[in-house]
Amino acid sequence: MVKNIFNGLEFSDNANNSVEFDEKYLGRHYPGIMSDNPGKSALFRKLVRRMYRETGYKVKHSVDIFNKEIVEDNRGYKSESGRDIFGPRLF
């Protein structure tokens, strides 16, 4: 687990897997985690259980300047969700 230069977190393992969370995404889904070491450890354990059979998988969770949440991986999957004038939307 590494804190990156943009105040996000990046988790990686010896199977070349990587999960990256940007600062806005962490604040939205895991408030206070940057100062909560047990919380970071719990998130790390959750990721280990989820990805123990994966190899070479990289995924990034972020929030863009329009407040859309973006999840993108190295296998071609990309999902964006946010709000518009009609309410919550999945783009």
The DSSP secondary structure of 18-85, one letter per residue, reads: EEEE-HHHHHHHSTTGGG-HHHHHHHHHHHHHHHTT-SS-EEEEEE-TT--EEEEETTS-EEEEEEET
What stretch of H or E contains 89?
A: strand 87-90
Other C-beta atoms within 10 Å of 12: how many? Answer: 14
pLDDT of residue 44: 86
- The per-residue pLDDT for range 35-62, each reduced to its tens digit, is 888 888 888 889 889 888 999 999 999 9
22 band by pLDDT with thresholds 50, 70 and 90: very high
